[in-house]
């Protein structure tokens, strides 16, 4: 089931049934198990119920058990995964974080907290509907992404357009949309990030970093520590070598 959703995300039960060597009941049973484990997320689109691969729990297992012992190999395998073809128009990521909705909203909108888990990038905005936002890195405030806050409903929902600028490949794709949805569950929050309105030729570099970002967000809020990921390693190496951040985010521009 996971392999089929990796090949083509957002499939209906009927589509998965045609691809699986089992009965409709068997497919439903497998999907229930995967949904309970948090590896599959469902979304309604009219009368259809679509199933999406949620790769965040897989990334968390990697971060906890693999990266400590084999970070270089794990980074290589992660890069290989993202180079595989994916023609989907929508990506859905879901994660549970032990925090309050207010604390989670603050971590999403606070520049310094955002910098700690999104590869050194701070976010700047006045957080009003229709306002602008920018993701900035480095002393020169290099703009690696920008867009508009389409919906601002703290601490529940944030919808933003996204114009990625960190390299020429993502710049050529144009505008997509990112939706952050926060739902309190007991002493935790379920955070669902939906990246949609993606063109069919969108590069993996545009949406492939969400697993690392959300894993870092969870680690920061639950432990107060920063999580080392391939993206953060790239950023740290640029700083250690004294390189302009434009060499890590080729194609970005300065806000100055």
Cα pseudo-dihedral 81, 84, 85, 88, rounded to 10: -10
Report which DSSP code applies to 21. S
Burial class (CB in 10 A: 0-12, 13-18, 19+), 184: middle
Kindly report, residue by residue over 38-75, the tens digit of the pLDDT.
889 888 888 889 998 887 777 777 666 665 555 555 55
pLDDT greater at residue 208 or residue 221: 221
Helix H or strand E encompassing 230: helix 230-240
Kindly report, residue by residue over 222-254, the tens digit of the pLDDT.
999 998 876 666 665 655 555 444 444 444 555
Q: Are residues 32 and 134 in the same domain?
A: no
Q: Are 127 and 139 in contact (CB under 8 A)?
A: no
Structure confidence at residue 254 (pLDDT):
54
Helix H or strand E encompassing 251: none
- Angle at CA of residue 158, ends 39 and 211, nearest 5°: 35
- Angle at CA of residue 114, ends 113 and 119, nearest 5°: 120
Q: Are residues 118 and 209 in the same domain?
A: yes
Q: Are residues 43 and 63 in the same domain?
A: no
Q: Are residues 153 and 37 in the same domain?
A: no
Domains in the chain: how many in total? 2
Q: Are residues 36 and 111 in the same domain?
A: no
The percentage of the chain sitting over the pLDDT mark of 70, rounded to a whole number, equals 79
pLDDT band at 139 (very low <50, low <70, confident <90, very high): confident
Final residue of a structural domain among 10, 31, 52: 52
Is residue 242 classed as helix, strand or coil in its secondary structure?
A: coil
Residue 189 scores a pLDDT above 70: yes
Q: Are residues 188 and 129 in the same domain?
A: yes
**CATH for 36:** 1.10.10.10
Q: Are 61 and 70 in contact (CB under 8 A)?
A: no
Structure confidence at residue 76 (pLDDT):
57
Q: Are residues 148 and 242 in the same domain?
A: yes
Kindly report, residue by residue over 75-128, the tens digit of the pLDDT.
555 555 544 444 446 889 999 999 999 999 999 999 999 999 998 899 999 999
Q: Are residues 74 and 175 in the same domain?
A: yes
Q: Are residues 163 and 85 in the same domain?
A: yes
Q: Are residues 11 and 132 in the same domain?
A: no
**CATH for 158:** 3.30.530.20
Structure confidence at residue 202 (pLDDT):
84
Containing structural domain, residue 191: 56-254
pLDDT greater at residue 140 or residue 59: 140
């Amino acid at each position: 089931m996971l392999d089929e959703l990796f090949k083509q995300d957002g499939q209906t039960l009927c589509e998965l049934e045609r691809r699986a060597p089992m009965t409709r009941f068997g497919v439903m049973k497998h999907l229930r198990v995967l949904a309970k484990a948090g590896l599959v997320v469902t979304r309604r689109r009219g009368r259809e119920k679509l199933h999406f691969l949620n790769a965040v729990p897989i990334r968390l297992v990697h971060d906890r058990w693999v990266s400590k012992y084999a970070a270089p190999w794990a980074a290589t395998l992660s890069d290989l995964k993202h180079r595989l073809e994916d023609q989907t128009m929508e990506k859905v990521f879901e994660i549970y974080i032990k925090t309050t909705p207010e604390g989670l909203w603050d971590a999403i909108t606070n520049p310094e907290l955002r910098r700690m888990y999104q590869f050194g990038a701070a976010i700047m905005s006045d957080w009003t509907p229709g306002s602008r936002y920018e993701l900035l890195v480095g002393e020169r405030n290099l703009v690696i992404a920008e867009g508009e806050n389409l919906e601002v409903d703290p601490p529940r929902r944030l919808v933003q357009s996204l114009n990625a600028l960190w390299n020429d490949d993502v710049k050529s794709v144009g505008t997509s949309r990112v939706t952050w949805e926060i739902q309190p569950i007991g002493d935790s929050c379920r955070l669902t990030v939906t990246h949609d309105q993606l063109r069919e030729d969108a590069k993996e570099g545009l949406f492939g970093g969400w697993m690392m970002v959300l894993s870092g967000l969870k680690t920061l809020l639950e432990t107060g520590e920063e999580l080392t990921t391939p993206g953060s390693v790239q950023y740290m190496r640029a700083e250690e070598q004294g390189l302009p951040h434009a060499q890590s985010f080729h194609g970005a521009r300065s806000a100055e």
